[in-house]
Amino acid sequence: MAGMSVDGLVSGLDTTNLINQLISAEGASQKALKTRLTATEQAASAYRTVNTTFLAISAAAGKLTPDALVSARTASSSSSAVVATATSSAVPGSSVTFSVQSLASTQVSLSRGVWTSATADARSSTMAWPIEILDENEASLGTVDIPAGATLTDAAKAINDAGHGLTASVVKLGENRYTLQLTSTTAGEAGGFSIKSPGEDDTTLGSRFVTTAPARDAVLDLGGGVVAKSATNTFPDLLTGLSVTVSKADPEAQVTVGVATNNDSVATNVQKLVDAVNAAINTVKDYTNNSKGSTAALRGDYSITSLGSKLLDAVSFGVAPHGSPAQAGFQLTKDGRITFDKAVFLTALKDKPEMAQTLVLGSAAGTAQDGTAIPAVRGVAARLLEVAKSASDATTGTLGSMANGKDSTVKDLKARIEAWDLRLEKRRETLTRQFTAMETALSSMKNQSTWLGSQLSAL
């Protein structure tokens, strides 16, 4: 009935338009709810966008702890063929010099026998079966045998299935020329092996195979007859916290690797923190813009603007006992942003390392020589982390709570709007029935009038 047209054929009234106007007037409250719904959804989205920027501050500040400077290390090498890496446990100023005597290799051996195809009888060449696999010390690892009629491919599979520290593959050397390749599953000297065929003794051991790659460790000569060995080309913790990877053997070249403090990495992390703070401040200003004509989703929201102020306070207030963070390169601009001078920070780290570290990273609690407790000091990074966590913490953060509150309001508004849809639909049905009834009544009256007129004319 809601879509039924009842425009008056008798009354001449545009009843459809009248009904629409009445419904529109009665639906003003619903329109207000829809407007409020849109604003509330935008506010919830804005809170979450701001929250994302404060989470970025938490992540950046979390990398700048009192131990960040102590654990920042960089490794150097005098040769492009030697790569050194350092962890936080590496000791600054430590170094070691060596020459690379050899690179590591895994043993590979090829059978001297040659077969006409991969499906040829494995017993048709000079290789005899069963074979015995011996380790680098000629201790037996086990034997492998194949049945009569087994192919070269079958023989390779039998060796692989035996699991005696070898993998076998069929290698095509050319037309009608195939051989068997054995590779150790253990790298370096420890993976050495030999193959003993029936009839071989100590003098002929392994004669049916030729070694194309030896089982060899990488060797560094540190001088004075001292060498370091590795089954791979990497030497973990050659020095405490310093690992070395070699890619070229050069016994005559002396290589020096060392560890230094990596202040640049700390400065880079400080800059990332400043960038995250400025991004958060910009987002807060955009969403709370209270200027004339502003349509910002959080226009004039003091709870949000105050977060931006707290970020600036964390950088501007002095850090006991050293004073202003400006000594470590921090400055506030006229438009309410933060700048960081890397050169000032690095100079401070060089000339006054304790001051620079405390201003930015803070210091951990300790005990003085007289036994007096020394409280921890919160540097700029710790202050910013505290502000960011109070805003963005998953359970207690103000931004998340406000966004969730808006979500609840959105849910309530949608329910009320849906209720209005039902109410207005019923109202339209009622008005349509009333106007239909009116037209019916007018039609009946018109018919009666016509009848009376005809009766009077007949008198």
Q: How far is CA 435 from CA 6, 7, 12, 232, 427, in A?
A: 7, 9, 12, 94, 12
Of 134, 250, 246, 257, the C-alpha closest to 196 is 134
In the chain, domain spans: 1-72+262-318+378-452, 73-103+218-261, 108-213
- Return the structure tokens found at 186: 């253990």
- In the three-class reduction of DSSP (H, G, I as helix; E, B as strand; rest coil), residue 115 is classed as strand
Q: Is the pLDDT of residue 11 over 70?
A: no
Q: Is the pLDDT of residue 328 over 60?
A: yes
The backbone torsions φ and ψ at residue 453, rounded to the nearest 5 degrees and listed phi first, read -65, -40
Residue 420 is inside which H or E element, if any? helix 398-458
How would you classify residue 224: left for phi > 0, otherwise alpha for psi between -120 and 50, otherwise beta?
left
Q: How far is CA 109 from CA 112, 116, 131, 179, in A?
A: 9, 19, 14, 10
Q: Is the pLDDT of residue 35 over 80?
A: yes
Q: How far is CA 232 from CA 240, 329, 412, in A?
A: 19, 45, 65
Distance CA 340, CA 320 (A): 20
Q: Is the pLDDT of residue 260 over 70?
A: yes
The backbone torsions φ and ψ at residue 261, rounded to the nearest 5 degrees and listed phi first, read -70, 135
The strand order across the sheet containing 95-102 reads 73-77, 250-261, 95-102, 218-223, 226-230
Summarize pLDDT for 391-406 with one digit per residue, the tens.
Answer: 998 888 899 899 999 9
Q: How confident is the model over 21-49, as a mean pLDDT?
A: 87
Measured N-to-C along each axis, helices 302-316 and 380-392 cross at an angle, to the nearest 10 degrees, of 170
Q: Is the pLDDT of residue 326 over 90?
A: yes
- In the three-class reduction of DSSP (H, G, I as helix; E, B as strand; rest coil), residue 103 is classed as coil
- In the three-class reduction of DSSP (H, G, I as helix; E, B as strand; rest coil), residue 314 is classed as helix
Of 151, 135, 152, 133, the C-alpha closest to 143 is 133
Summarize pLDDT for 150-184 with one digit per residue, the tens.
Answer: 999 999 999 999 999 999 999 999 999 999 999 99
| Amino acid at residue number 206 | G
Q: What is the pLDDT, as a whole number, of residue 101?
A: 97
Q: Is the pLDDT of residue 148 over 50?
A: yes
Which residue did the predictor score with more confidence, 362 or 141? 141
Q: What is the pLDDT, as a whole number, of residue 202?
A: 82
Which residue did the predictor score with more confidence, 115 or 261? 115
Q: What is the pLDDT, as a whole number, of residue 9?
A: 54
Q: Is the pLDDT of residue 291 over 50?
A: yes
Distance CA 141, CA 132 (A): 8
Of 250, 257, 254, the C-alpha closest to 98 is 254
Distance CA 272, CA 60 (A): 6
Which positions ≥6 away from 419 have C-beta within 8 Å? Answer: none
How would you classify residue 142: left for phi > 0, otherwise alpha for psi between -120 and 50, otherwise beta?
left
What sign results for the dihedral spanned by CA atoms 134, 138, 141, 142?
Answer: positive
pTM: 0.61
- Counting every residue written for the chain, the total comes to 459
- Return the structure tokens found at 241: 């916290």
- The long-range contacts involving 168-177, CB below 8 angstroms and separated by at least 24 positions, are 170/118, 171/110, 172/118, 173/114, 176/116, 176/117, 177/114, 177/115, 177/116
Distance CA 270, CA 62 (A): 11
What sign results for the dihedral spanned by CA atoms 318, 323, 325, 331?
Answer: positive
Q: Is the pLDDT of residue 365 over 60?
A: yes
Q: What is the pLDDT, as a whole number, of residue 268?
A: 93
Distance CA 37, CA 411 (A): 9
